[in-house]
Amino acid sequence: MSETRVNIYIAGDSTVQNCASNYKPQEGWGRMLPRFFKDYVHVYNYALGGRSTLSFIEEGHYDKIMGLIGPGDYLLVQFGHNDEKLDGRFADPFGTYQAYLKRYVDGAREKGAYPVLISPVNRRRFNLFGEFYPTHGAYPKAVKELCDELDVPFIDLTALSEEYYKKLGMEESKRLFLFLKPGESPNYPDGSEDNTHFNENGAYEIAGLVVEGMRRINLPLVEHLK
């Protein structure tokens, strides 16, 4: 008897997206998530670089998901990196950001699917004394408060990634990110010191943190892990 098909849809930004070949070795954790699940679990990653809660909707990516998602499916949502930027994408943490996130929750529920909100993964930031400091301000708290209000499963990827970066330390944590020497990659001829985006190994390890977050809240999806 074959297993039941499980569908996971993802909305998010560049830290989550499936990176095209011209971005390699950059990768997002959404690309790596299927590695943790059994073969009958299908992950549809619609995350795209530069998108905020609103621009993802305005550009039609939200509608694409809503046209496909169905009863019993899951929708994982992680935004924040671009909502913070003081340009056309800015969303106030406890105002428009929460309002836009609520649209993802409402849309999924209207389709009989299960929304899961994820606070933004941390950038790598250490001060001169080697102490980590967070960079997402009030956004993670805004996600948690909305989840409490709407009774939505919450994965605190901000806290999980902070915990992990601290454990690795200032130098060792670089191995998760897009740090390249000049000439090391044809896509980055001048090298890269990127503290926001992950390399393939880093994306895999962050996907592992997302799975750990699922375990901590006992999300039913954990029944389908390898």
Catalytic residues: 14, 193, 197
Strand partners, 151: none
Contact 178, 192 (CB under 8 A): yes
DSSP 8-state code for residue 94: I
The residues near 13 (Cβ < 8 Å, ≥ 6 apart) are: 47, 48, 49, 50, 51, 52, 78, 79, 80, 81, 82
The residues near 121 (Cβ < 8 Å, ≥ 6 apart) are: 15, 29, 78, 157, 158, 161, 206, 209
DSSP character string of 171-192: HHGGGGEEEE-TTSBTTBTT-E
Angle, nearest 10°, between helix axes 157-172 and 200-216? Answer: 140
